[in-house]
Structure formats: C-alpha cells, structure tokens
Amino acid sequence: MGAASEAVRRLPIGVQPLDAVLNGGLPRGRISELIGPLSSGKTSLALTLLATATRRGEVVACIDPAEALHPASLAIAGTDLQRLLWVRPPSATAAMRCAELLLQAGGFAVVVLDLGVSPPRPLRGQVWPRLLHAAEQSHTALIVVAPERVAGSFAAVSLGLQRRTPLWRRGLWALFDGFETAMTVVRNKLGAPGKSTVIRACESCPSTEEPLFTLTSTTYEHESR
C-alpha cells in the first residue's frame, strides 16, 4: 500500500497570526517566496524570521548580492549574529550558485536568498529544480526575497506584500515610525491560498522579545475564495 508521506516540518516566522495562517510557519525542505515592491515589508519579514531562528539556537544564512543587509538592524531585530553566515556574491547568478552550495552543505535551518532584482530569465528553468532538490535533501527552508515571483511552480509558498500606509510617532514633531503592509498568501501548495492579514513593522510596536523592533499583526482580514 506504500508508506505514509512524512509530515512537513515548519519554520516559525515569529509573528503568531502569520504562523497561524501558514499552519505553523514556512515549510522546511521547500522554497518559499517573499515578494513585493520596495518598502513593502518583505525585508523586515525576513529579518524577523532570521531573528526567530537564531533565538531557537538554529544556524542561518543570508545571501546578499546587493550588499543591502545592515548588520545593526539584524542585531536590533534580535538576531544572534554568531549564528548568521552573511554571503555577498558579486551578482544574482553567483548568488544562486551560492544558495545551491549552502543547501548542499547542510546544517542551516534557513537560507535567505535576497535577489533584490529578478534573476536572469534563462537561469530560471535550470536552477530552481536543483535548488528545490538541495533544500529537500538538507531539510532547509530556502526563502527567496524578490520583487516578483521567480521560482514558479517550484515554490511551495509565495507571500505577497504590499505597503498600505506609513506610521508616524506622535509628538512635537511627527517622526516616521514604520509602516503597515498587507500580506496575502499568493501560493500555498501545502494549504489554502488567498488568506490575507495586515501587519505592522515599526520601532515602537510592543514586543516581548525586542522592544526596539518588531513585526506584529494588527488585523486578520479575510480568506478569499
């Protein structure tokens, strides 16, 4: 009759409403995408994921060809920098090769591949099957950060983010404090897509872990058909 399939292990993001929408978090051994335009919150979400994983004692990696990662922001978000490997390849093509090598090496709970811009189209059909196979073998969650969907059918989960409104801190002078962003589960091969929520990324948001920076959910809107 065959053996029952192994349950998919989850990597908690660290934001309870989002983890609930995703049945416990993003899947290990799979490719997930965080997609959206500039300032939509996808980088903040990736920082929160890295912080959550390192606080649990996991080892993580971030591949950053644009060299846009700010270590101080990672530390403020609660990331244990001793458990983070920061890779700065010279191009998107090299970044994807680095991702494959790290996945094959194993030992990482999550590898974040921040493309910044979409990779060259000729690479898409060639590299994603290899990356998915390597992620499955190492049981690592590969998180791709990009302005649009790039992994196609090889992505198990795609989260679309869209900035809604800036947040201002009240006082004598209004100071920028963060922003609200709408998150929608665009694709989910392991559950129901279409679920949406509004999240808030700001410095003054309440947090039991790190008071200076957090990513908290403000509302749970709906589940679309």
The pLDDT of residue 190 is above 50: yes
pLDDT tens for 1-33 read 444 446 789 999 988 888 888 889 999 999 999
Task: Provide the number of structural domains found in the chain.
Answer: 1
pLDDT tens for 193-209 read 778 777 766 655 554 33
Number of helices followed by number of strands (H, E) in the chain: 5, 11
Does residue 3 form part of some domain? Answer: no
Does residue 126 form part of some domain? Answer: yes
Does residue 2 form part of some domain? Answer: no
The pLDDT of residue 158 is above 90: yes
Query: Which own/partner pairs from 25-29 qualify as long-range (CB within 8 Å, at least 24 positions apart)?
Result: 26/110, 26/141, 26/143, 26/157, 27/141, 27/156, 27/157, 27/190, 28/109, 28/139, 28/140, 28/141, 29/135, 29/136, 29/138, 29/139, 29/140, 29/141
State percent of the chain over pLDDT 70: 76
Which of the given ranges, 64-73, 106-115, 195-204, has the highest pLDDT on average? 106-115
User: How much is the pLDDT for 44?
Assistant: 82
Does residue 4 form part of some domain? Answer: no
User: How is residue 170 written in tokens?
Assistant: 């009240």
User: How much is the pLDDT for 102?
Assistant: 98
pTM higher than 0.75 for the full model? Answer: yes
Residue range(s) defining the domain that contains residue 151: 10-223
Does residue 37 form part of some domain? Answer: yes
- Worst-scoring range by mean pLDDT, 50-59, 127-136, 211-220? 211-220
Does residue 1 form part of some domain? Answer: no
Does residue 44 form part of some domain? Answer: yes
Output the average pLDDT for the chain: 81
Pick from 114, 186, 101: which is nearest to 140 by CA?
101
Instruction: Output the domain CATH number for residue 40.
Output: 3.40.50.300
Question: Cβ distance 211 to 11 under 8 Å?
Answer: no
Does residue 130 form part of some domain? Answer: yes
